[in-house]
Structures are given as structure tokens and as C-alpha cells.
């Protein structure tokens, strides 16, 4: 399973102005995912497509948090343009809304390379509980794999119980801006993926060191979980 850390190099210099477009996988900085975000207002996606898309190995189609109909409309507009601008990029279509709406999104875009799971809010803009997220993932992950696609989970943090569930279900990748955001406050993730305060000078180099520490601990946690799963099965 691959973890993608949200944030560009500029994020380290301007940590309170997170730029969510650039995501790089832990242990694989040569790959880049580009994501326009999930805000209801139209993002400046023309700039993304015209210039930044050329950097991307993976491109996430625009979606709207908790809004399946809006996500379909936005994805339908931009999916072919992303494929045209960067044919080699893997495309990710995010599923949102109810179970039936997530199925409809996948049926509408059968040519996507990956399907993503938006698990922050439901259609009524209420935050999902951990139990609701688990229920969705237990049917959605097998469904996506049955379609021959990869599963990507969008930014819901880096807590150990989440990673244990992801590994159990065979999630292919997930992303989070947690490591970048907490580094701005002098924190890093320890081996148990709990936030801890560190000696912190406040420079861009200090922030990078904290992010690197968190990424190493996430990488080690994933390795432990994958090794444990291999022993069991």
C-alpha cells in the first residue's frame, strides 16, 4: 500500500497555506499525484491542466465533497481533457455520496484507472464516523477491485486503526496532509503514528526534517502491518 503526502515544496515555506495539488508517495518521490481539491467553488483547474498536469504521474479528477451529482458533472467535464493533456497519467475518479451514488459514479466513468473513496462527509455534509467509513470500505474496496481498478482513499488522516483497516481490506493507496500540517506546529508522527512535539527551530529545513520523520514512521508502520498480514495469510 502506498501513502501519498499532500503538499508541494512551497508548503514547507508557507505551511499555513497548504497547496493540496501536489502529492508524493512515501518512499517514492519520483512519482507525483495532482489533485484539484474538493471545494464547491470551481478550482483554477485551467491552470492545473495547462501547466501542472505535465508533472503528474497520477491525476485526480475534480470532485465536490459529499456531492455525487456535482462530482459527476465536474468529472464529466474534465476527465476527457485530462486524458488529452496527459495520456500517460493514471486518472482517479473519486466516489462520493450514498452507496448507490458511488456505484453510479463508477458506472459513469468505466475508463478511470483508479477509483477513489471520499470519506470526509456524506451528502448532508455531516462528517462520517469511523464506523460509517469502515462500513463503506468493506463493500467498496472489493467492488472496485472486482472492476479491475485500484483503490485510493482521500485524506482522512494517518491513525493506526485506519491503516490496520486499509491493509486488511487491501487498499492500494491513501493520502493525507497531516504530516505537513503538524510539521508547521513542531510536531511529527512517532512509531505508533501519534503526534508528538519535537525540538523545533521553525525554519523550512526544520519542517522538512519533521515531515521526513513522519514519513519514515508511516513507511515502517505499513511494513509492519503488511508483514503481519503476510504471516496470517
- Has residue 128 been placed in a domain? yes
Q: What's residue 119's pLDDT?
A: 85
Q: What are phi and psi of 35, to 5 degrees?
A: -140, 125
- Has residue 232 been placed in a domain? no
- Has residue 223 been placed in a domain? no
* Domain hosting residue 82, numbered range: 2-177
For 122-174, write each residue's pLDDT tens digit. Answer: 655 577 888 999 999 999 999 999 999 999 998 777 889 988 999 999 999 88
pTM for the structure as a whole: 0.82
Tell me the C-alpha distance between 15 and 17, whole Å. 5
Mean pLDDT of the chain: 79
- Has residue 154 been placed in a domain? yes
For the domain that residue 38 is a member of, what is the CATH number?
3.20.20.70
Bridge partners (DSSP) listed for residue 196: 188
- Has residue 218 been placed in a domain? no
* Block residue for cell numbers 459513469: 108
- Has residue 41 been placed in a domain? yes
- Has residue 71 been placed in a domain? yes
- Number of domains within the chain: 1
Lowest-confidence segment of 37-41, 63-67, 199-203, 218-222 by average pLDDT = 37-41
- Has residue 64 been placed in a domain? yes
Tell me the C-alpha distance between 3 and 5, whole Å. 7
Residue 13 scores a pLDDT above 60 = no
% residues pLDDT > 70 (the chain) = 78
Amino acid at each position: 500500500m502506498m501513502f501519498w503526502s499532500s503538499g508541494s515544496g512551497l508548503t514547507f515555506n508557507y505551511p499555513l497555506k497548504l497547496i493540496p495539488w501536489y502529492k508524493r508517495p512515501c518512499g517514492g518521490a519520483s512519482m507525483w499525484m495532482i489533485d484539484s481539491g474538493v471545494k464547491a467553488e470551481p478550482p483554477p483547474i485551467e491552470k492545473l491542466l495547462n501547466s501542472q498536469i505535465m508533472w503528474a504521474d497520477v491525476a485526480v479528477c475534480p470532485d465536490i465533497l459529499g456531492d455525487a451529482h456535482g462530482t459527476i458533472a465536474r468529472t464529466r467535464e474534465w476527465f476527457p481533457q485530462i486524458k488529452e493533456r496527459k495520456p500517460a497519467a493514471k486518472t482517479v475518479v473519486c466516489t462520493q455520496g450514498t452507496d448507490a451514488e458511488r456505484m453510479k459514479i463508477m458506472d459513469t466513468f468505466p475508463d478511470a484507472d483508479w477509483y477513489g473513496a471520499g470519506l470526509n462527509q456524506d451528502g448532508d455534509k455531516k462528517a462520517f464516523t469511523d464506523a460509517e467509513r469502515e462500513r463503506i470500505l468493506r463493500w467498496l474496496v472489493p467492488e472496485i477491485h472486482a472492476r479491475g481498478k485500484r483503490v485510493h482513499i482521500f485524506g482522512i488522516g494517518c491513525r493506526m486503526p485506519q491503516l490496520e483497516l486499509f491493509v486488511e481490506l487491501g487498499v492500494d493507496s491513501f493520502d493525507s496532509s497531516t504530516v505537513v500540517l503538524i510539521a508547521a506546529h513542531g510536531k511529527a508522527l512517532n512509531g505508533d503514528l501519534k503526534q508528538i512535539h519535537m525540538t523545533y527551530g521553525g525554519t523550512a529545513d526544520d519542517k522538512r526534517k519533521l515531515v521526513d520523520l513522519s514519513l519514515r514512521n508511516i513507511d515502517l508502520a505499513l511494513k509492519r502491518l503488511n508483514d503481519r498480514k503476510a504471516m496470517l495469510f
